[in-house]
Amino acid sequence: MAAVLAVQPCSVTLPAGAGKTELIAASVAEAVHRGGTSLVLTHTHAGVDALRRRMKKFGVMRDRFVVRTIDSWSYDLIAHFPDLAGLAVPTIPDWTRSTEYHLAAARAAGTPAVAKMLRLSYTNLFVDEYHDCVLDQHNLVLSLSGSIPTTVLGDPLQSLLTFGETPPVDWDSDVLPNFPEVVVDHRPRRWEPDHAELGQWLVDIRTELTDGMPISFSGTPVRWVRKSDDRTFVSECMKALGQEGTIAVLGRFRHDCVSAASKLSGRYTVMEALDEKATLAFAAKVDTGSGAAVAHAVVEFAAKCSVGIPTHISSAKRKRLLNGLSFVTRDEDLKPTYEAVVRVREQPTPTTVRTAFELLGDLQGVSIHCREAWNEVSRSLAAAAADGCTVTEALHLARSHTRAAGRQAAARVVSRPLLVKGLEYDHVIILDPTAYGAQELYVALTRGSKSVTVISDSSTLPVARMQAHKKSPTRG
C-alpha cells in the first residue's frame, strides 16, 4: 500500500480474489495513519457494502473515509454546486440522466472553488472496478485527479457493464496513459488456505479466456454436473443448503433467476437490480391505474414474487377481479384477504394496497422468493401512505437511499454475474453458462471461495459463445 500511495496517480490491475478490496482498505488505513482522509468510489451498492466491511476489518474510523458509488457522489456534488456544475438536479435523482450528471460533476470538479474543497476534504482518491467506467465517468475521475492523488483499480476480464451507445473505458488507450501501472505482488487470496488449487486454476484460465479458447472442467477443481433436464439444478441447490456458508445460484437473465427461485420453493431469494423495472411498473400501476387494474396488479405481482398464491386465488378468479366481477371465497381463512383485495378495487390507495399485499404474503403455504422486490414494494407503500406522496416517488427515494447507504446481500441468493460482481460467496452453482461471454464466465467462476459447481450439457464450454460483451440496465 505504501508503494501505491507513493506514486499516485497510478493504476493497479489485479485478478478476481487477489486482494483488490484488501489493497484499497489497507491503503486507506495507511493514508489515515499519515493523517489523511480518503474518498473511495465504485459502481454498485454491493461494492459499497464490501468496501465498508473491509474498512471495518482494518479498524478505519468512519469519519476518515467516504465510500460511494460514482453516480450518487456525482449527483450530490451537483446538488451542492449547481451553478458551478451548470446543471440543476431534481430532489429525486433521475438516473436515466446519469451521463449528464457525470459531465456536470466533471465541470464542477474542474472549477477552482470545488478543487480547493476537494483538496481540503481528501488526501487520496481510490476508484474501484475501473474497468466498468464509461468515458464520461473516466473524464470525471481525470478531473478529480487534478485535485486529489488518485489510484484506479480494476481488471479488464471482469468488465461486464456497457451502457447503450456509451463506450466503456479502454485500459490501454484511456487508463494507462493517465494512470501508469503499478505492479503489486498478488496471489489468489480468496481461496487460501484450503482451496488454493481452485484459486490457482482460476488464475491459469485467464489466458484461455482472453485468447478465446474453450474451457474444460474435466479434471479441474470445479465440480461439473451434467444437465439432464430443466430441474437438474433443484437437487443440487437443495443439497447445497446442507453446506456451511453463503450460496449464490447464478443464471443469466432475471427471468432465469425468478423461474429458478420459484422451483426452489423460497429457499433462495432473487437478488434484484437496483433499477428493476418490474417493481417500478407496479408502483406506476398503483399510482395511475383503475381500481380493478390495481387490485389485479397487486395479486399478480404478489404471485410472481412467491409460490403458493395461485393455490388460493386461481387464474380464473384473478380474471374476474380484473373485469370487476364478483370476487369471493367460501373459505373462512381466505375471506380477510379476498375482502382486502376487493377494497383495493373499490379504493385503490397505498394504504389499501399495502394491507392486501401483506395479507397475500401471509397466506398459508406462501413462500416469497423475490424478497428484495417484495420488501421494496412494501416499504414504498408504507412511505406513500405516511407521507402523502406517490408510490413511484417513494420508490425512487428508497432507491436513492440504497444507492447512498448500500445494501447487504442475502445468504442464499439466485442472481446474475452482473449483480454479484465484487461479491464473494462460499459456494457458487452456475446454471448452464453455455451462453456466457468470457467476462461473465470469469466473474461467475470466481465468486465461490470454497466450491464452484457448473451445470451444463457438456463439460467443455465452446469458444463461439464466449465473446459477447453484455449490456446492462441504467445504474446508480
For residue 67, what are the β-bridge partners? Answer: 40
pLDDT recorded at residue 466? 37
In the Cβ-directed half-sphere of 363, how many Cα atoms lie within 13 Å?
26
pLDDT recorded at residue 194? 95
Q: 305 to each of 106, 236, 257, 278, 302, how far by Cα in Å?
A: 40, 22, 11, 11, 5
Same domain, 101 and 163: yes
| Rounded-to-integer distance, Cα 113 and Cα 285, Å | 45
Question: Residue 383 in contact with residue 397, Cβ under 8 Å?
Answer: yes
Last residue of a domain, one of 405, 423, 438: 405
Q: State how many domains the chain has.
A: 3
Contacts of 165 (CB under 8 A, 6+ apart): none
Same domain, 387 and 374: yes
Which residue's C-alpha cell is 476480464? 157
Same domain, 247 and 144: no
pLDDT recorded at residue 161? 66
The counts of H helices and E strands in the chain are: 21, 15
The separation between CA 332 and the C-alpha centre of its own chain, rounded to angstroms, equals 42
List the CATH number of the domain containing 431: 3.40.50.300
Q: 103 to each of 76, 135, 139, 142, 219, how far by Cα in Å?
A: 13, 10, 8, 12, 50
Same domain, 13 and 143: yes
| Rounded-to-integer distance, Cα 465 and Cα 291, Å | 47
pLDDT recorded at residue 145? 97
Kind plus residue range of the DSSP H or E element containing 413: strand 412-415
Question: Residue 434 in contact with residue 459, Cβ under 8 Å?
Answer: no
Question: Residue 129 in contact with residue 45, Cβ under 8 Å?
Answer: no
Same domain, 339 and 310: yes
pLDDT recorded at residue 469? 40
221: number of Cβ within 10 Å? 16
pLDDT recorded at residue 473? 40
In a domain, 266, yes or no: yes
pLDDT recorded at residue 463? 60
| Rounded-to-integer distance, Cα 136 and Cα 302, Å | 39
pLDDT recorded at residue 470? 38
| The three cell numbers locating residue 387 | 407521507
pLDDT recorded at residue 404? 60
Same domain, 14 and 160: yes
Extract the residue ranges of the chain whose pLDDT is less than 70: 1, 161-165, 403-408, 463-476
Which residue's C-alpha cell is 480547493? 116
Dihedral pair phi/psi, residue 388, rounded to 5°: 75, 15
In a domain, 473, yes or no: no
The domain of 241 spans 196-271+410-461
Same domain, 135 and 238: no
Same domain, 350 and 394: yes
pLDDT tens digits, one per residue of 53-76: 999 999 999 999 999 999 999 999
Dihedral pair phi/psi, residue 460, rounded to 5°: -120, 125
In a domain, 207, yes or no: yes
